[in-house]
Amino acid sequence: MNKPITIYGVKLPLIEERCDLAEVIVNSVRRQGLEIEDGDVIVVTCKIVSKALGLLVKLDDMKPSMKALKIASKARCDPRFTELILRESDDILAAIPVKRLADEKLIDLYSYSKRPEDVKRCLEKYPTVFLVIRDGSLWTDAGLDSSNHPPRIVSIPPRGLDEVAKAIRDRIKDLTGKDVAVVISDTEIFLTGSLDFARGSYGIEPIERGFGEPDLYGKPKFGGVDAIVHEICAAAALMMRQTSRGIPVVIIRGLDYERCECGYHDRVKMNSESWARILKHIVRETRRVLGLRAVLRMILGIFI
């Protein structure tokens, strides 16, 4: 019989800047009548980590550069917010006109809300979303987050989130004597909804290493590389949700996983050059196999 997996949501008090986040987590778990156990996976939202590290910025203190002013004018965005995106990005790949897509009903964001006027205000505030590379991963708007912060305040995700996860894990072990894994999650938007991803981890093998292993019939399978830490974050999000429930930490207990002294970015190493080379190979192969028209359809999203 398979071992059950249990998910516990952990409510935290108001997080103060530069607090001992691991100690806050341990104390909050105990207040709920629980104890951290060996093998637990602790999922922590990136936003809470940012608050604990004091990575909060007042937009009104930002001085936009000429580049930020130019981009913001074209994208109809706040130039101070745009300046912060530029500073926190290693490379900017694309500008996604979210408001225009919604206005032309190419994506129906209004159907995803019970308050269409709030949707309209949100789109007017953020009409364009920038897809960027930061620390070898894809982010929208460099991971800047203004939700559940006072007006004109945004949080910045820390750099080196594997190291941050390791520090939280080590501190939890100091406080409890328990060996756990820590995963730092963040919400990313898609045209059809949002999903939680891992941005950093430590103590757990992030990717299942089973590509090419025999399937039920003995054939090498084209698969077996499950993104375990992403799946963990998606499961944790069911408890956290994307609203103001005040559950920024989740404990996943009973998961059978491979332990390792490694982080997410030890297994997943990407940069701007890697993404560009991947795209180049995809475009070349699409043209070779399917023809130029297929390339144009892929890039332009229209039929020629």
Task: For 66-110, list the strands marked E by DSSP.
Answer: 91-96
Is 209 in a helix, a strand, or coil? coil
Express each pLDDT in 232-257 by its tens digit: 999 999 998 754 567 999 999 999 99
- Whole-angstrom Cα distance, residue 178 to residue 214? 35
Would you state the pLDDT for residue 302? Answer: 42
- Whole-angstrom Cα distance, residue 58 to residue 105? 34
Superfamily of domain 6-267: CofE-like (3.30.1330.100)
Q: Please state the domain extents for the chain.
A: 6-267, 271-304
- Residue pair 34/252 in contact by the 8 Å Cβ criterion: no
Would you state the pLDDT for residue 301? Answer: 59
User: If you search the block for the tokens 């936009």, which residue do you land on?
Assistant: 64
Answer with the residue of higher pLDDT: 172 or 115. 172
Express each pLDDT in 260-297 by its tens digit: 999 999 888 766 677 778 888 988 998 899 988 887 77
